[in-house]
């Protein structure tokens, strides 16, 4: 279908403000992109903290929709091409998931590239998931109901740790939520050309993000970089969200197919007329609110079962 008129308005606004992912250093891009969007969602408890990581403490932010101590928990990884994004930039998304899915959310501020190359982000993501799963009582959550979620590069990390959890003796993930995820270091799928320009995230920006995160071509084929290269049998059931006008559309769609072919239960929705990053844009996109409700319903169903 054509680009949704509301999505076009978002793109027009970004163009008017001069927003771009290209032609900037990592620090310049962070200064422009790592900004909190004020969230209308109020929660009774939001607390910053830190958990042990492979290279020092990892900052986290813990969102609680109530004071119950038996709630399920989602370990959330923000997007941003492994280069930008932080606890502030994805605060609204974390609040949304916590509120709508009625769960605790632990948002993870993993190390960023290019200062910290692959597999630093993946190592931090696993350390965070492992800590949450093995310290559930201390955290005040139900350790039998642990899910992972992430958008874009955060979706990459969620997919990677879901595979690692399958092979772990002490970490179990019951659901993974992958929002327009990066799952393949190969950027040659058709949507990369079809949506290369004009829809906020560009192919040039994706090439640059990969250059920041990867050290070698071998990194990009590693299953912890490109989870589509993993043996996916036995990983947690998945919700995969993709957007029609997104350079990453085809790799997300291919990952949903690969999971299904591996025998994994998958709920995959491509939201037509939408662009990369739309999930958090509910202030201007009606489809974003619908996608949030769809994801929350899937999470609640997984937690209930």
Domain that holds residue 223: 5-304
Query: If you search the block for the tokens 């290019």, which residue do you land on?
Result: 114
Rounded to whole angstroms, the Cα distance separating 301 from 305 reads: 6
The DSSP 8-state label assigned to residue 112 in this structure reads -
- Split at pLDDT 50, 70, 90, the class of 187 is confident
- Split at pLDDT 50, 70, 90, the class of 185 is very high
- Strands of 238-245's sheet in order across: 45-51, 58-64, 104-108, 71-77, 141-151, 175-179, 238-245, 266-275
The total number of residues shown for the chain amounts to 305
Q: Does position 8 have pLDDT exceeding 80, yes or no?
A: yes
Q: Does position 195 have pLDDT exceeding 90, yes or no?
A: yes
Percent of the chain clearing pLDDT 70 (strictly above): 99
Catalytic residues: 152, 246, 276
Tell me what pLDDT residue 20 has: 85
Percent of the chain clearing pLDDT 90 (strictly above): 92
How, if at all, do strands 141-151 and 71-77 pair? parallel
Within 13 A of 164's CA, how many CA atoms are on the CB side? 21
- Start-to-end Cα distance in the chain: 36
Region for 190 from its dihedrals, namely left if φ exceeds 0, alpha if ψ lies in -120 to 50, beta otherwise = alpha
pTM flag (> 0.95): yes
Tell me what pLDDT residue 38 has: 84
Q: Does position 186 have pLDDT exceeding 90, yes or no?
A: yes
- Split at pLDDT 50, 70, 90, the class of 135 is very high
Q: Does position 210 have pLDDT exceeding 90, yes or no?
A: yes
How buried is residue 107: exposed, middle or buried, by Cβ count under 10 Å (0-12/13-18/19+)? Answer: buried
Tell me what pLDDT residue 1 has: 83
Token pair of 122, please? 């993946």
Within 13 A of 157's CA, how many CA atoms are on the CB side? 34
Three-state DSSP state, 147 = strand
Q: Does position 287 have pLDDT exceeding 80, yes or no?
A: yes
Secondary structure percentages of the chain, helix, strand, coil, to 5: 40, 20, 40
The DSSP 8-state label assigned to residue 54 in this structure reads B
Tell me what pLDDT residue 104 has: 98
Tally of domains within the chain: 1
Q: What are phi and psi of 247, to 5 degrees?
A: -55, -25
CATH number at residue 282: 3.40.50.1820
Q: b vs e for 166-176, b when ≥16 Cβ sit within 10 Å of the residue's Cβ?
A: beeeebebbbb
Lowest average pLDDT, out of 2-6, 11-15, 48-52, goes to: 11-15
Rounded to whole angstroms, the Cα distance separating 117 from 120 reads: 6
Rounded to whole angstroms, the Cα distance separating 136 from 86 reads: 24
């Amino acid at each position: 279908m054509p680009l949704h008129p509301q999505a076009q308005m978002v793109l027009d606004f970004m163009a008017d403000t001069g927003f771009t992912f290209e032609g900037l250093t990592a620090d310049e891009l962070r200064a422009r992109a790592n900004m909190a969007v004020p969230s209308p969602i109020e929660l009774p408890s939001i607390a910053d903290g830190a958990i042990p990581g492979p290279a020092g403490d990892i900052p986290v932010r813990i969102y609680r929709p109530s004071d119950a101590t038996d709630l399920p928990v989602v370990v959330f990884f923000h997007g941003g091409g492994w280069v930008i994004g932080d606890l502030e930039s994805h605060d609204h998304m974390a609040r949304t998931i916590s509120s709508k899915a009625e769960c605790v959310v632990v948002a993870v501020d993993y190390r960023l590239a290019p200062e910290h190359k692959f597999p630093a982000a993946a190592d931090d993501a696993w350390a965070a998931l492992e800590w949450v799963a093995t310290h559930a009582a201390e955290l005040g959550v139900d350790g039998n109901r642990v899910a992972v979620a992430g958008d874009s590069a955060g979706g990459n990390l969620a997919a990677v740790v879901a595979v690692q959890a399958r092979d772990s003796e002490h970490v179990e993930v019951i659901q993974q939520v992958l929002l327009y995820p990066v799952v393949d270091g190969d950027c040659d799928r058709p949507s990369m050309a079809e949506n290369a320009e004009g829809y906020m995230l560009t192919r040039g920006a994706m090439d640059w993000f990969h250059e920041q995160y990867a050290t070698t071509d071998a990194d990009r084929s590693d299953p912890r970089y490109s989870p589509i290269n993993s043996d996916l049998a036995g990983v947690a059931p998945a919700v995969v969200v993709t957007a029609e006008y997104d350079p990453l559309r085809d790799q997300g769609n291919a990952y949903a197919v690969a999971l299904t072919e591996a025998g994994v239960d998958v709920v995959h929705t491509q939201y037509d007329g939408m662009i990369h990053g739309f999930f958090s844009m509910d202030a201007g996109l009606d489809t974003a609110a619908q996608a949030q409700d769809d994801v929350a319903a899937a999470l609640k169903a997984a937690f209930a079962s």
